[in-house]
Chain A
Amino acid sequence: MTITIALPSKGRLKEKALEVFAQAGFRIELPKDSRSYRGSVKGRPEIEIAFLSASEIARELIAGKIALGVTGEDLARESVADPGTFLDFACRLGFGGADVVVAVPDAWADVTTMADLDDVAAGFRRSHHRPLRVATKYWQLTQNWFADHGIALYRIAESLGATEGAPAAGTADIIVDITSTGSTLKANHLRILRDGIILRSQANLIASKKIRLSREDRAVLKGVCRQVAEAVAAN
């Protein structure tokens, strides 16, 4: 039997993931054929590596098609309404850090908190004959966060790129987006609300709760999680 671990297929996330796994004692051998997306672990034939895009990894974990994966917490939490029943967030990996935040135009000098936003959203329809619009690709996170703050009267304007430009483009009033340094937001004259950090995300090692594993495979999975967690802690 084998278990499949999915790692990001490109970029910094891939490099960092390989690094952490190497520190944990797993030497991952990359596919010889550059078009192949399968790898292996030296001396561990019971483990198979799949290189997938970060969002695909989240989906495959939720579907129970792979046992273990490395992906951003934001993507994992965004991909399903109740992540806790599908995913086991085994360990934070210490890289790929970024925050999912609520940001408003800096010119909205009267809005500094979610409570302010609640007031503004409630009065918005009366003065503008439409609800407040939020540009985001994070539907789930936004809906949960706004519901937690009692804000119901708004609409999501889906944005699949350059979300920070939506207020100036007039396609939305405010945004929910991911930011690591905040400089893009600043350059677009947007300001994060004081209590507007929805999620402090980073790369996570995540196990699927939906996959059926034999007892041996389950033990392998636990071993991998433990070794990776120890390597991260030692860093």
Chain B
Amino acid sequence: MLPFLKIMVRNLLQGPSTDPFPFAPAKTPARFRGAAVHDSEKCILCGICRHVCAAGAIQLRAAEDGSGMQFMLWHNSCVYCGMCAHYCPTGALTMSDNWHLSHLGEDKYTFSEDSFVPFGECAQCGARIQPRPNVIVEKLGGRAPDQFLLCPKCKRESLVKHASDTNLSQFREKQ
């Protein structure tokens, strides 16, 4: 006998196995890679997201007054690979489970993750540095929090000073 008949009758009795989507919510797993979400509170403007983005969907634009950077992620260009979220050192970028991404053609330049990240200030000389939000200082700068908040110039000077102080104290100990 036809071996498929049994399966066919069973499938007919079971009814449709597709999601009744527009009439009921579709099941979305927690790990689903939907639209990327940017948290400007955690961003340190390191640019790794832009570096790994294969689609070129991420742009970092300097503000005209020099007060910070505009972070832009075009959902329209994004391929939802999640590389930016994977390599983001601070967890500022995450992939949400939002897959409702249809939009009008006229909205394609505004359909983006758009946030302003202000620059930080050097704790010593007040020079403009990459942002150093508190959440990140605890996470990344825990080993040397003082140096983490310095501009490259002050950091260099503090390192030299630290090294010479250490040398001096060692020299004194020998004497």
Do A and B come from the same complex? no
A contacts, CB < 8 Å to B: none
B contacts, CB < 8 Å to A: none
